[in-house]
Amino acid sequence: MGDDLDAVVARLRRRLTWAMDQIKRLNALREEQGVLDREDDMLFRRCDRLVGRLKGTDRRTRREAEGYDDVNTFGVLAAEGFLPGYELEVGSILGRAEIPFWQAGAMDFVLPRPPSVALREYVPGNLIYANGNRFVARRFHRDVDERRAEMPTFEVSIERQAVKEANPLAVSSALGATAVQAIAVCDVDLMHTSHISDDEVLRFQLGVAVHGLERDQHSGGRAYRWGEQAIHHLRGEHLRLVNVGASSALTRQQPMLGYPVCTVCGQSVSPLSSQAQLMQFAESHSDRCGQAVTPVGFYADVVADALVLRACADHTTAYNVVEELRMGAVQVLNMHLDDLQILVIGHVDRDEVDGLLWDPMPGGSGLLDQMLDRFAEVMTAARAVVENCPAACAAACID
């Protein structure tokens, strides 16, 4: 309990430090230029409001009656996932949606996400649909401590869908592997793009490539044999999830890893932008921030209970078997499909992979224990799902 409370306090302190640093930087810029441009002025007001909330002087108005009270201590602890709220995990990564002044009756709001979800959603180029409007991630609030430290470098094998932490100066160990630096997933400002129209039938979601690796630390577990297959049930497994870029950008003739993000001010642009727009973004921030813009990935560290299928032949085999077990558990345990998540971990130096079925609930929900207790029933249900599927697709079955 004490460690979890320390983590929440440290997170709030990081947000305060970030806001104070931005206010100091923008005040210096105001003294130099005499006036801030519109974007920097909006950032200044947002930081000033954040400091007021954390200090307890900026109280909520009556029109902000819904949602949690981010001045009340218990409300903050519930919103950060330390105390029970409406949900056990409301999310520690905040997306702050900015509503234009001309939107009558609308106001700024916050969309919290768990790190593993924010890793996919809060990336440049993806559209966020909320409250009748569309938003895009624009400015990332990097932690002060992370700026002082080197960003981790990951060796990426696009063919094997694998990542490996590497020395930035080291030579890639696998043919076809490339390297990308990454920043930790963090709070982000969501810029308003447009109102959702009734004519829009399909919603856009940017396809991203999220690879994982085990960090060789867990809180113990048990090993099983399933025929010839080794299965490990691990508690408190430490995982690192790495978003290495947009899927469509990775499949180009010249693959582009990462996202265009300025690591000084945090501004970004979509990786699917035109070449002229990407060049203009890089040149402008090189002049303004004094540092070249290089594409970066995002990573999130997760501690979760996991069921691990060791040394599977390939991604297709591992993913299908784990998905079948999850669908069988849905039938037997009366759970939701999203209550357990799938991750296939590849290796840059070999073809075999590890298939993981992990529990995103902090502290574990106990579903994996129930699966193992009733494994024969889960297997029977899973086999029925695949044998009796009406679609009989060769691959990528929608049923």
251 assigned to some structural domain: no
123 assigned to some structural domain: no
Q: What is residue 66's predicted lDDT score, i.e. its pLDDT?
A: 38
What is the rounded CA–CA span in Å between residue 222 and residue 56?
48
Count of beta carbons in the 10 Å neighbourhood of residue 150: 8
Helix, coil or strand: residue 384: helix
pLDDT in tens, 120-139: 999 999 999 988 888 999 99
- Element at 291 (helix H, strand E): none
Confidence of residue 101 (pLDDT cuts 50, 70, 90): low
Angle, vertex CA 280, rays to CA 27 and CA 156, nearest 5: 100
Q: Are residues 363 and 224 in the same domain?
A: yes
Print the domain residue range for 7: 1-86
Q: How many helices (H) and strands (E) does the chain have?
A: 10, 14
Our count of domains for the chain comes to 2
55 assigned to some structural domain: yes
Give me the percent of the chain exceeding a pLDDT of 90: 41
Q: Are 234 and 308 in contact (CB under 8 A)?
A: yes
pLDDT in tens, 182-195: 998 988 999 988 88
pLDDT in tens, 74-87: 767 766 667 765 44
Rounded average pLDDT over 78-105: 67
Rounded average pLDDT over 321-348: 93
What is the rounded CA–CA span in Å between residue 334 and residue 207?
30
What is the rounded CA–CA span in Å between residue 191 and residue 206?
16
Question: Is it the case that residue 32 has pLDDT exceeding 50?
Answer: yes
pTM of the model: 0.76
Give the mean pLDDT of the chain: 84
322 assigned to some structural domain: yes
Buried b (16+ CB within 10 A) or exposed e, 171-185: eeebeebebbbbbbb
Q: Is 282 exposed, middle or buried (0-12, 13-18, 19+ CB in 10 A)?
A: middle
334 assigned to some structural domain: yes
Domain boundary among 63, 86, 109: 86
pLDDT in tens, 220-253: 889 999 999 999 999 888 899 999 999 999 988 8
Give the residue among 7, 93, 98 at the shortest CA–CA distance from 298: 93
The pair phi, psi for residue 54, each rounded to 5°, is -65, -30
Q: Which residue has the higher pLDDT, 258 or 361?
A: 258
328 assigned to some structural domain: yes
271 assigned to some structural domain: no
Question: Is it the case that residue 145 has pLDDT exceeding 60?
Answer: no
Which of 10-19, 33-42, 181-190, 370-379 comes out lowest in average pLDDT? 33-42
128 assigned to some structural domain: no
Give the residue among 8, 86, 123 at the shortest CA–CA distance from 54: 8
Q: Are residues 80 and 215 in the same domain?
A: no
DSSP structure string for 84-138: --SSS---SEEEEEEPPTTSTT---EEEEE-HHHHHHHSSTT-EEEETTEEEEEE
DSSP structure string for 316-381: HHHHHHHHHHHHHHHHHH---GGGSEEEEEEETTEEEEEEEEE--STT--SHHHHHHHTHHHHHHH
Question: Is it the case that residue 89 has pLDDT exceeding 60?
Answer: no
Q: What is residue 63's predicted lDDT score, i.e. its pLDDT?
A: 34
Q: Which residue has the higher pLDDT, 154 or 81?
A: 154
Q: Which amino acid is at 152?
A: P
Helix, coil or strand: residue 253: coil
Q: The domain that contains 374 carries what CATH number?
A: 3.30.1460
Q: What is residue 76's predicted lDDT score, i.e. its pLDDT?
A: 74
Question: Is it the case that residue 26 has pLDDT exceeding 60?
Answer: yes
Cβ neighbours of residue 316 under 8 Å, at least 6 residues apart? 395
Domain boundary among 86, 103, 138: 86
Confidence of residue 88 (pLDDT cuts 50, 70, 90): very low
Beta-strand pair 297-312/177-184: parallel
Domain boundary among 86, 116, 139: 86
Q: Are 141 and 188 in contact (CB under 8 A)?
A: yes
